């Protein structure tokens, strides 16, 4: 068994998989289910100075993801402060309290949640493109708290790397990236209406469709800042967590997959991560952090696809997909015509059997 524990801003997590702010942590009972499901840390649903009243309906599953127009917690902050945080405590797991949004909101909330939080996470989802309100919110949190203050960034138009740098300069102890992406629109062909309520039917995208954007943001932020990054967006399996850690995350949060598959997913992802580490000869999860931050070697771009005879069963998937008609299946074996091959690389990921490998720097025959 590999060592799954990670340390972030001085806090030790027994494993790097935890819930993201959202329905899986909507109250104390839900949070305790995440702990029982094997999470390595806990995060609570974002609260603000008043209860949210989101449009209904506000969550829909779509192919490859989910759209939602939930806001922050629909429970009043007083209920969290008087009841939910205390009930969710005592698990022994680090507890990150998510707060939103303005400096005034944070100044009111932070002293009240102080007894319960091992760290806080400030959502920047509703404070616009300008960095000023985010910086002011960080200031308000730092003034009231002596625990680490993480800042959760939304993939809005505002350049995320710049926002992360500004958050770090303002005193943030870590970056959580990313929140759901939007606005987006999904329409139900049967009703001809958007799945989601609200005046425009807009929603925010999460789940597998979000993962490549999240990975890009995590890697670019991790390159730019010295504080730890917690990655979130589209993680549902151990291999997703591997990718997120390699992109530079020190830990990983999960929302959509936990909504769809239940809180046991935290332990399942941690277990799959453990198996992957063992199989690939790593002693710890922490070793993965940032492995994909290195610059691309020139030899990679000079490479080409190569078919391995053993695993290839001539299924034709690669040949059908090749945009250059460079692959044919001969006697149940994919054969690549390198004169026609444009080195686009699609066949490598299209193959379901790992039979086509991108080999750097193979001299062209």
Ligand X SMILES: Cc1cc2nc3c(=O)[nH]c(=O)nc-3n(C[C@H](O)[C@H](O)[C@H](O)COP(=O)(O)O)c2cc1C
Which of 15, 44, 48, 256 is the binder for ligand X (CB under 6 A)? 256
Asked if 255 touches ligand X (CB under 6 A), the answer is yes
The dihedrals phi and psi of 200, each to the nearest 5 degrees, come to -115, -5
Shortest Cβ 328–ligand X spacing (Å): 39
* Residues in contact with ligand X, shown as a per-residue x/- string from 63 to 82 under the rule CB under 6 A: ---x-x-x-x----------
Q: Considering only residues 12 through 31, tell me which ones interact with ligand X, judged by CB under 6 A.
A: 20-23
Three-class DSSP labels, 182-229? EEECCEECCCCEECCCCCCCCEEEECHHHHHHHHHHHHHHHHHCCCCE
Shorter beta-carbon distance to ligand X: residue 122 or 355? 122
Distance separating alpha carbons of residues 152 and 192, to the nearest angstrom: 35
Residue 68 · residue 88 · CB < 8 Å: no
Contact 204, 68 (CB under 8 A): yes
Residue from the set 2, 120, 254, 265 that interacts with ligand X by CB under 6 A: 254
Give the strand order in the sheet containing 203-206: 59-62, 65-68, 203-206, 181-184
Specify the residue, 154 or 304, whose C-beta has the smaller distance to ligand X. 154
Q: Given the structure tokens 């702010």, which residue do they identify?
A: 21
Q: How far apart, in Å, do the first and last CA atoms of the chain sit?
A: 45
Site residues (CB under 6 A) for ligand X, limited to 269-298: none
Answer yes or no whether residue 235 interacts with ligand X by CB under 6 A. yes
Distances (CA, A) of 97 to 47, 82, 86, 121: 9, 14, 12, 6
When asked if residue 138 is in the footprint of ligand X (CB under 6 A), the reply is no
Which residue, 26 or 350, is less far from ligand X as judged by CB? Answer: 26
The answer to whether residues 229 and 279 touch, using CB atoms and an 8 Å cutoff, is no
Instruction: Choose one: 85-93, 132-140, 251-259, 268-276; the region binding ligand X (CB under 6 A).
Output: 251-259
Gyration radius (Cα) of the chain, Å: 22
Shortest Å, Cβ 126 to ligand X: 10
The answer to whether 55 contacts ligand X (rule: CB under 6 A) is no
Cis check for the bond before 57: say yes or no (omega within 30 of 0).
yes
Least distance in Å: CB of 255 to ligand X?
3
CA separation, residue 83 to residues 48, 87, 107 (Å):
16, 6, 20
Nearer to ligand X, 29 or 332 (CB): 29
Minimum Å gap between C-beta 210 and ligand X is 5
Q: Which is nearer to ligand X, 35 or 235 (CB)?
A: 235
DSSP state of 103: H
CB of 287 to ligand X, least distance (A): 23
Q: Find the binder of ligand X among 201, 203, 228, 234 (CB under 6 A).
A: 234
Of 202-210, 269-277, 302-310, 321-329, the window that binds ligand X (rule: CB under 6 A) is 202-210
Under rule CB under 6 A, residue 124 binds ligand X: no
Closest distance of CB 261 from ligand X, Å = 11
| Greatest Cα pair distance in the chain | 73
Among 15, 48, 179, 250, binds ligand X (CB under 6 A): 179
Write out the residues near ligand X by the rule CB under 6 A: 20-23, 45-46, 59, 66, 68, 70, 72, 98, 123, 152, 179-180, 206-207, 210, 232-235, 254-257
């Amino acid at each position: 068994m590999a060592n799954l524990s990670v340390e972030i801003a001085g806090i030790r997590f027994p494993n790097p998989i935890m819930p993201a702010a959202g329905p899986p942590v909507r109250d104390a009972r839900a949070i305790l289910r995440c702990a029982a499901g094997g999470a390595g840390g806990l995060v609570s649903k974002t609260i603000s100075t008043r209860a949210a009243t989101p449009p209904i309906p506000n969550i829909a599953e779509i192919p490859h993801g989910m759209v939602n127009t939930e806001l922050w917690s629909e429970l009043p902050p007083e209920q969290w402060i008087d009841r939910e945080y205390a009930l969710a405590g005592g698990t022994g797991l680090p507890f990150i309290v998510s707060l939103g949004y303005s400096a005034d909101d944070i100044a009111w909330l932070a002293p009240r949640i102080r007894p319960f939080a091992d760290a806080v996470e400030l959502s920047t989802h509703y404070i616009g493109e300008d960095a000023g309100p985010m910086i002011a919110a960080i200031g308000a949190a730092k003034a009231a708290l002596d625990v680490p203050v993480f800042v959760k960034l939304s993939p809005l138009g505002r350049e995320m790397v710049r926002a992360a740098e500004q958050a770090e300069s303002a005193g943030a102890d870590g970056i959580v990236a990313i929140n759901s992406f939007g606005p987006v629109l999904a329409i139900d062909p049967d009703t001809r209406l958007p799945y989601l309520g609200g005046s425009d039917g807009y929603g925010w995208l999460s789940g597998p469709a979000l993962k490549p954007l999240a990975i890009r943001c995590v890697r670019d932020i991790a390159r730019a800042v010295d504080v730890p990054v917690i990655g979130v967006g589209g993680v549902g399996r151990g291999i997703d967590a591997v990718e997120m850690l390699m992109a530079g995350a020190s830990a990983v949060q999960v929302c959509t997959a936990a909504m769809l598959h239940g809180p046991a997913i935290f332990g399942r992802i941690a277990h799959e991560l453990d198996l992957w580490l063992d199989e690939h000869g790593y002693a710890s999860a922490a070793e993965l952090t940032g492995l994909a931050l290195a610059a691309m070697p020139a030899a990679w771009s000079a490479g080409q696809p190569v078919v391995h005879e053993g695993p290839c069963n001539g299924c034709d998937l690669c040949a059908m997909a090749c945009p250059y008609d460079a692959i044919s299946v001969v006697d149940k074996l994919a054969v690549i015509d390198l004169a026609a091959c444009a080195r686009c690389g699609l066949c490598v990921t299209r193959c379901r059997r790992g039979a086509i490998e991108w080999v750097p720097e193979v001299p062209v025959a």
